[in-house]
Amino acid sequence: MAKKAASKRQPPAASERPATRVSATAESPAPPAPRPEPGMGRWTFLTNHSHVMILLSRYPSMVLREVAMQVGITERAVQRIIADLEDEGFIEREKVGRQNHYRILTSQRLRHPIEAHCTIGDLLLLINDRL
């Protein structure tokens, strides 16, 4: 009994691919996340939790898909991070129509003993002040 040859599927040519839609809304006017320079390591000084919080402080109504793209993680990971931040009292979520609006509770202290003398507001001021 002869086996049927496995056919290898080829991806469509670039001209045949559907165009990807990019939407820029007033709530999330964030520029695309910069790509790391060649030769730089893949680690960062700040955690994904802090990256999510920084973005939400700048763009309180940013959709989670956009947050995920900016941070470079999955949308599900962003959902878990937001749940962590809400559970620990670092952010509050308010439903505005069909959108969520996030408020950062800037008076909360940072969690690690080395930085516990600083607040979330101090961190955000340091990062956002340079923009």
Question: Residue 42 above 50 pLDDT?
Answer: yes
Question: Is the CATH number of domain 48-128 2.120.10.30?
Answer: no
Q: Residue 131: its pLDDT value, please?
A: 52
Q: For position 121, what pLDDT does the model report?
A: 96
Closest Cα partner for 100 from 80, 82, 73? 82
What is the tens place of the pLDDT at every residue in 47-106?
A: 999 999 999 999 999 999 999 999 999 999 999 999 999 999 999 999 999 999 999 999
Domain ranges of the chain: 48-128
Percentage of the chain exceeding pLDDT 70? 68
Confidence (pLDDT) at 9: 59
Give the whole-angstrom CA distance, residue 25 versus residue 53: 19
pTM above 0.75, yes or no: no
pLDDT score, position 39: 64
Residue 97 φ/ψ region, left for φ over 0, alpha for ψ in the -120 to 50 degree band, beta for the rest: left
